[in-house]
């Protein structure tokens, strides 16, 4: 029997999250850096600090229908979609589930976890196979302490995002209030 036939062949499954995370190609890193540089909290960082921030990134592959986090989980990280699609949902007191957002490449979610330590207000699930990058709060806190000028840029970006979302929610509340008032007048 030849030696080739005696040694077992190692086969790497195509869609294994373990192998996908273990063997990253340089293009994955370039793509991730490109996506990271495009989102508001990090887009004003200099290339030097963006590369330092890249060292804090934790990458993970999620299969379709796999949850990234659940409503009421501890909020510990910001997530960035490098590829794939994610649905953000919220369950009310009656157990009804509502879709809040459908996110794709370059979108991010969970940013409030970088500000406070509250539990998640919603759940997130991968709609299709997705490559997600995460930045954990303790890591970002250390980065901000070590590089305060760049930290200010990140915090300003987060504040801008939160302020924009608050304005949008206020606008939606006003529209709903006006719709209710109009219906009341019709009755």
Within a domain: residue 6?
Answer: no
Within a domain: residue 55?
Answer: yes
Within a domain: residue 126?
Answer: yes
Q: Which of 29-38, 111-120, 137-146, 154-163 has the lowest mean pLDDT?
A: 29-38
Q: Is the model's pLDDT at 55 over the cut of 80?
A: yes
Q: Which residues, 6+ apart, have CB-to-CB distance to 103 below 8 Å?
A: 81, 85, 86, 87, 88, 109
* Helix/strand/coil percentages in the chain, nearest 5: 45, 25, 30
3-state secondary structure of 118: coil
Domain with 86, as residue range(s), is 26-185
Q: Find the farthest-apart pair of alpha carbons in the chain and give their distance in angstroms, rounded.
A: 90
Distance, in Å, from the CA atom of 30 to the CA atom of 175, rounded to the nearest integer, reads 42
User: Closest Cα partner for 80 from 117, 108, 48, 113?
Assistant: 108
Within a domain: residue 40?
Answer: yes
- pLDDT tens, 8-50? 333 333 434 444 444 444 346 788 888 889 888 999 999 999 9
Within a domain: residue 99?
Answer: yes
Contact 56, 136 (CB under 8 A): yes
Whole-prediction pTM: 0.78
Within a domain: residue 172?
Answer: yes
Contact 100, 165 (CB under 8 A): no
Within a domain: residue 92?
Answer: yes
Return the CATH number at 169. Answer: 2.60.120.10
User: Closest Cα partner for 111 from 157, 144, 79?
Assistant: 79
Within a domain: residue 121?
Answer: yes
How many domains, the chain?
1
């Amino acid at each position: 029997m030849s030696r080739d036939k005696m040694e077992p062949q190692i086969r790497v499954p195509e869609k294994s999250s373990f192998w996908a995370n273990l063997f990253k190609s340089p293009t994955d890193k370039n793509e991730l850096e490109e996506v990271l540089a495009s989102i508001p909290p990090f887009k004003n960082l200099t290339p030097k600090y963006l590369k330092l921030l890249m060292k804090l990134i934790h990458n993970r592959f999620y299969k379709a229908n796999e949850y990234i986090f659940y409503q009421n989980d501890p909020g510990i990280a910001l997530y960035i979609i490098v590829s794939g699609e994610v649905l953000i949902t919220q369950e009310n007191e009656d157990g009804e589930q509502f879709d809040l957002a459908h996110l794709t490449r370059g979108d991010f979610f969970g940013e409030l976890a970088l500000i406070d330590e509250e539990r998640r207000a919603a759940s997130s699930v991968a709609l299709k196979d997705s490559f997600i990058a995460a930045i954990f709060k303790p890591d970002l806190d250390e980065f901000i302490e070590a590089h305060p000028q760049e930290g200010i840029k990140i915090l300003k970006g987060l504040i801008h995002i939160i302020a924009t979302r608050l304005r949008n929610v206020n606008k939606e509340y006003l529209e709903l209030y006006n719709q209710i008032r109009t219906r009341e007048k019709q009755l």
